[in-house]
Amino acid sequence: MDISSAILIIGFAALVAAFLLLVIGLVYSELMNSDIPCGVANSGKLHMVHGLFVGTAVVGRILHRLGICHQVSFARWFVACFLTRLKQVPAGLRVKDMKFLEVPVRIYEPTSVCEGLRRGLMYFHGGGWILGSIDSVDEVCRHIAIESDTTVISVGYRLAPEHRYPAQLDDCEKATNHFLSVAETEFGVDSHRVAVGGDSTGANLAAALCQRLAWSEDRHLPFPCAQVLIYPALQMADFNLPSYQQNHAVPILFRGRMAFYFLQYLNGDVSLCQEVLEGNHVPTELRPRYEAWLSPSSLPPECLARGFYKHPTPEYDAEAYHAIKAGLEPEVSPLLADDALIQKTPQTFILTCEYDVLRDDGILYRKRLLDLGKDVTWQHVIDGFHGMINFFNQGWLTFPSAVQVVDSVVHYIKTL
């Protein structure tokens, strides 16, 4: 080996070492900013999973700044390659990929004999409107289909940043309407027993879809019989609720990250993140109305047990409001809909987790529904954290509490 080759190899090795040290340093810094309470189920495993996700995010940011690839693209690639494993279809289930009006769907049909028509479930995956896929919830949909004897349709809606609001909601609506129109003739499903549901931002889409369909005056198709909302994101007005304060640094969803996801969904202007977190985007005249629906006094006392302080009244920023005002509309923030619209929504299942910034969104939506005389089933996972359903039946990544989450959904669906 000549000297020039040796220098080249040494230089490359030094560059790799510097890159690894940079990644390790940034990951360590991020991990020091996290807070995993002792009450979280399998906290040691969550530390490890969080470190894996942080490392992925850090490498993605570095590659993005170097102009090699978009950080979101890297995150999708990593999850698809290392955290998503499609297993052999089990006995008793038929799985096929199709398109409903150009929207990708995966259909899970139990093969057991059924007297009459089956029930159905349209499922929308989570992932902050930018991540997630049909594959990422494959195990969940398989389990629900088999255990509840339900035909499940998983929807592969378009994602941000390539597609902004309302593309995601439009895709969910198109797929749902198409299935309702052919449920009986093509799939042996009772179109009057089809529910919609999802986890996290997928639950946001389910709740928003129910309100959008309820608003349609010329609707000729059956209305969803229920909405299944698993730790839903339901409002963009207040990021200082008790659950946001108590769980602001609990993996896998930080307070600031939720604002980032909303902004990516709307327009991609993440420079407004701090304005949104402080509440400066909410017009003064709307605050009394929102405060009535988002008041901490409407939460159960145990939700305040880990501490809460009243956030100072924010200073209104008209520029921030006009940039994200769609985020305060019901199609993005279903919790902020008028009573008349919420009154038209179907019976509801809501699951919340104690160690989740979105806990209070779900609980406050439950209260609004109950105040209007709606039928609500609420399941609260006392040791749960956001994103648990992603770790259902995932080998060494499995969290036992994820089984509790999915089985509670199964139990509810069986009642429909």
pLDDT digits (tens, 9 = 90+) for 4-47: 555 455 544 444 454 454 445 544 455 456 788 888 888 888 88
In this structure, the number of other CB atoms found within 10 A of the CB of residue 184 comes to 13
Q: Whole-model pTM?
A: 0.92
Tell me the C-alpha distance between 376 and 35, whole Å: 32
Active-site annotation holds for 356:
yes
Assigned token pair, 329: 């509309």
Q: Residue 363, CB half-sphere, CA atoms under 13 Å: how many?
A: 24
Alpha helices in 163-316 (DSSP H): 167-187, 201-215, 242-246, 255-266, 273-278, 287-294
Assigned token pair, 40: 């979280």
pLDDT of residue 2: 58
pLDDT of residue 9: 54
pLDDT digits (tens, 9 = 90+) for 371-391: 999 999 999 999 999 999 999
Is the distance from CB of 368 to CB of 342 less than 8 angstroms? Answer: yes
pLDDT of residue 319: 96
pLDDT digits (tens, 9 = 90+) for 84-128: 878 899 999 999 999 999 999 999 999 998 889 999 999 999 999
317, 356, 360, 361: the catalytic one is 356
Of 292, 383, 379, 301, whose CA–CA distance to 338 is shortest? 292
pLDDT of residue 37: 85
Residue 150 amino acid letter: T
Active-site annotation holds for 386:
yes
Residue 387 amino acid letter: G
Tokens 């105040």 belong to: 371
Quick one: CA torsion of 188, 192, 193, 198, rounded to 10 degrees?
A: 110
What is the residue extent of each domain of the chain? 3-83, 93-235+327-415
Please report which helix (H) or strand (E) contains residue 146, including its range.
Answer: helix 138-148
pLDDT digits (tens, 9 = 90+) for 315-365: 999 999 999 999 999 999 999 999 999 999 999 999 999 999 999 999 999
50, 281, 380, 386: the catalytic one is 386
Give the CA distances from residue 99 to residues 80, 91, 153, 186, 369, in Å, rounded to whole numbers and listed in that order. 21, 24, 11, 14, 34
pLDDT of residue 19: 47
**Mapping DSSP to helix (H, G, I), strand (E, B) and coil, where does residue 100 land?**
strand
Q: Residue 222, CB half-sphere, CA atoms under 13 Å: how many?
A: 18
148, 154, 191, 200: the catalytic one is 200
Give the CA distances from residue 157 to residues 100, 105, 329, 370, in Å, rounded to whole numbers and listed in that order. 11, 8, 21, 31
Averaged pLDDT of the chain: 91
Tell me the C-alpha distance between 369 and 356, whole Å: 21
**Mapping DSSP to helix (H, G, I), strand (E, B) and coil, where does residue 395 land?**
helix
% of residues, the chain, pLDDT over 70 = 92
Tell me the C-alpha distance between 64 and 148, whole Å: 43
Tell me the C-alpha distance between 230 and 385, whole Å: 12
The topology under which CATH files domain 93-235+327-415 is: Rossmann fold (3.40.50)
Q: Strands across the sheet with 189-199, in order?
A: 93-100, 103-110, 150-155, 118-124, 189-199, 226-230, 347-355, 376-385
pLDDT of residue 326: 97
Which of 37-46, 296-305, 393-402 reaches the highest mean pLDDT? 296-305
pLDDT of residue 27: 47
